[in-house]
Amino acid sequence: MRTFEEDVAIAEKYHGHLCSGQCIGVKMARLGMRELDIDIQNDPKSIMVYVECDRCPADAIGAVCGCKVGKRTYKFHDFGKVAASFINLRTGKAVRIWRKKRMHPAEGEDMISFYKNLPDEEMFQVQQVEIDLKPWDMPGPPLEVVNCSRCGEDVTDGRHVMVEEQPVCKACLGQRYYKVVADGKP
Ligand SMILES: [Zn+2]
Ligand SMILES: [Zn+2]
């Protein structure tokens, strides 16, 4: 098993700098994998994560668990929380871990050893959770592709909604985060 320091180095390299968020994310990832008996080095495809923030710990969790958005093993939910769920894909068991207390090293204290030695239970709350993973949430090729009846763009894996028996994408349902100001030539 990798050491805490080795995991911090992996996270730092991926994230681009060392910060408390990397140490916190590494701690969460290690705790999650320990709770679920995941041996990431021998069975790297056994884990999926759901991450609830888009800040520093989000990168550390992905780097340490080897989970990637493009591999469908990293699900992002923008809840603005230092929280994440970890699923053992072999057993279906899942835990959610959230930070209950902000804790930082004292001035001049070594950051990595501070977080390494901090008992997990002081900083985190662990919950046993159930996550309803659908076949179309799993890694692998798309199981379904539909064409949005309003904008004409393809939508994969059940991310559309049927409206009057026609498939409609989330953007056309009012969840559009952008405004088209000019369209290129078709
Ligand atoms: Zn950072
Ligand atoms: Zn559409």
CA distance 75 to 138: 11
Considering every ligand atom shown, identify the ligand nearest to the alpha carbon of residue 146 and give its number: 2
Class of domain 4-135: alpha beta
Phi and psi angles of residue 182, each rounded to the nearest 5 degrees, phi first: -160, 140
Average the pLDDT over 99-113 and give the result: 95
Considering every ligand atom shown, identify the ligand nearest to the alpha carbon of residue 24 and give its number: 1
- Confidence check: pLDDT of 81 > 80: yes
Residue 70 CA to ligand 1 centre (angstroms): 22
What global pTM score does this model have?
0.93
Residue 167 CA to ligand 2 centre (angstroms): 8
Residue 125 CA to ligand 1 centre (angstroms): 22
Residue 171 CA to ligand 2 centre (angstroms): 6
Q: Are 119 and 133 in contact (CB under 8 A)?
A: no
pLDDT of residue 54: 97
Q: What are the residue boundaries of the structural domains of the chain, listed by start?
A: 4-135, 141-186
Considering every ligand atom shown, identify the ligand nearest to the alpha carbon of residue 148 and give its number: 2
Residue 51 CA to ligand 2 centre (angstroms): 27
Residue 160: pLDDT band by 50, 70, 90 thresholds? very high
- Would you call 57 helix, strand, or coil by DSSP? helix
Residue 185: pLDDT band by 50, 70, 90 thresholds? confident
The β-bridge partners of 137 are none
- Would you call 43 helix, strand, or coil by DSSP? coil
